[in-house]
Amino acid sequence: MFRKISANDSDFNIMKNKHRIFLKSYELFVENTKLGYTKGVTKSSGKARSYRDYLIRLFLIVEDFTKINIDNPASTDVFGLVENIKNIDGYKEFNNQEGRFPNAALNYYISFVSQILIDQETEIDNLSDQLIDSKQNTINNSKLFIENDIKSPEIRPEPITVNNVKRYRRNLLEVRKAKVSANYVCEYDNKHVTFENNYDNKPYIEAHHLIPMAAQGLFKYNIDFADNIICLCPNCHRRIHYGVKSDKIEMVQKFYKDRHEKIESFKVEIKYNDLKLFYNIK
């Protein structure tokens, strides 16, 4: 049962004050981001503040159901807990009764935190590319990297804690398999020429997880396998992360069409609309 939570309730205000910096950033994100199912979100409309308030209510409801305190709304663990609220009995009825504001607040949260987590993961992705292309065997010097041959669906691995942040390991063997499969050319446009890699004299190419590793906690099964890894030239890799919305839409549409059946063969169910949320292009 989803309880009614007033903005005057003491626990509402405790949660609001506890996460005031995160919630202010979230509110600014809502004001400056256009997701396809919402209209009229401006500073004067007050919708961003309403979504913020509904997000606070969702945090409280998650704590009610899970008995877990939300200490960091942008963490991998909390991201999974909050996203999973859609699967709790009674959520659909609650969402409809509240004019679908909870769902809008939740989707903005998913998009917002996805961007935070993806930025955190980019450093690891860049390092994995360096290790793959290096002749030096440095994998044993870091607990962030493994080499496992993924041939069938595997249950999601547990994250590890690095510098007080939970992160998922990168599978260097699967990255290498993806690059070999792509023949070391950009999979967005094979006419894009890159420089020759100094380590093995092959064209330099970067690995990109179509379903971002930042979202691993939302899936029961492992997403770090070659069919979920796209090989891109450095320019296209930056474009899919930081390009204008129209460019990102074109790229994500193409790769989703090319890969979703292969990805689903590993028991990873991904809908295009969910992928759009991860890339902030809905």
Instruction: Point out the least confidently predicted range of 14-23, 57-66, 125-134.
Output: 125-134
The mean pLDDT of 182-193, rounded to a whole number, is: 95
**pLDDT given for residue 44 in this prediction:** 53
197 token code pair: 């890699």
Q: Which of 25-34, 41-50, 95-104, 235-244 has the lowest mean pLDDT?
A: 41-50
Flag whether pLDDT at 91 surpasses 50: yes
Split at pLDDT 50, 70, 90, the class of 39 is low
Residue in the block written with tokens 């997000």: 55
CA nearest 188: which of 113, 116, 250? 250
Q: So what's the pLDDT on residue 137?
A: 47
- C-beta of residue 26 within 8 angstroms of C-beta of residue 19: no
CA neighbor of 209 nearest in space, from 263, 134, 164, 142: 263
Comparing CA positions, the residue from 137, 121, 138, 123 lying closest to residue 224 is: 121
- Residue partners of 171: CB distance under 8 A and separation at least 6: 145, 146, 147, 148, 150, 224, 225
Beta bridge partners of 155: 221
pLDDT, average across residues 261-274: 95
Better pLDDT: 88 or 119: 88
Would the pLDDT of 163 be above 80? no
Please count the other Cβ atoms lying within 10 Å of the Cβ belonging to residue 54: 23
- Measured between alpha carbons, how far is 85 from 109 in angstroms, rounded to an integer? 12
Specify which residues 196 forms β-bridges with: 203
CA distance linking residue 179 with residue 171, whole number of Å: 13
Question: Percent of the chain having pLDDT more than 90?
Answer: 64
CA 91 – CA 146 distance, rounded (Å): 39
Q: How large is the average pLDDT for residues 215-219?
A: 90
Q: Other C-beta atoms within 10 Å of 269: how many? A: 12
Count of all residues that appear for the chain in the document: 282
CA 70/CA 260 separation, integer angstroms: 33
Q: What integer is the mean pLDDT of 123-129?
A: 69
Please report which confidence band the pLDDT of residue 174 belongs to, taking 50, 70 and 90 as the band edges.
Answer: very high
Q: What is the DSSP letter of 227?
A: G
Dihedrals phi, psi of 141, to nearest 5 degrees: -90, 0
